[in-house]
């Protein structure tokens, strides 16, 4: 005869009622930049892309340095 389980059923996590705010992705066409956009797409996470032209040194602009002090994407 099988024993009756004393474990309680696992409750599923509730989703937020409103959609999450999109992530702001500062990126450029580099291998690491592509990795992040691919994973965000695969996970279905909403995001907005802002290109940072590292060939023109845009990562050193004062506005970008406020976001990323080490000037990396």
Phi first, then psi, for residue 48 (nearest 5°) are -115, 135
**DSSP secondary structure letter of residue 45:** -
Q: Which two tokens stand for residue 65?
A: 């340095």
Residue with tokens 């892309």: 49
pLDDT tens, 11-20?
777 766 677 7
pLDDT tens, 49-59?
999 999 999 99
pTM for this one? Answer: 0.65
How open is the CA angle 27-24-73, to the nearest 5 degrees?
30
For domain 25-67, say whether CATH 3.40.50.10260 is its number. Answer: no
């Amino acid at each position: 005869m099988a024993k009756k389980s004393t474990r309680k059923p696992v409750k599923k996590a509730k989703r937020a009622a409103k959609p999450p705010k999109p992530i702001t992705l500062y990126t450029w066409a580099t291998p690491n930049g592509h990795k992040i956009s691919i994973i965000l797409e695969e996970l279905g996470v909403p995001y907005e892309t802002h290109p940072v032209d590292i060939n023109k040194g845009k990562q050193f602009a004062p506005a970008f340095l406020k976001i990323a002090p080490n000037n990396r994407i």
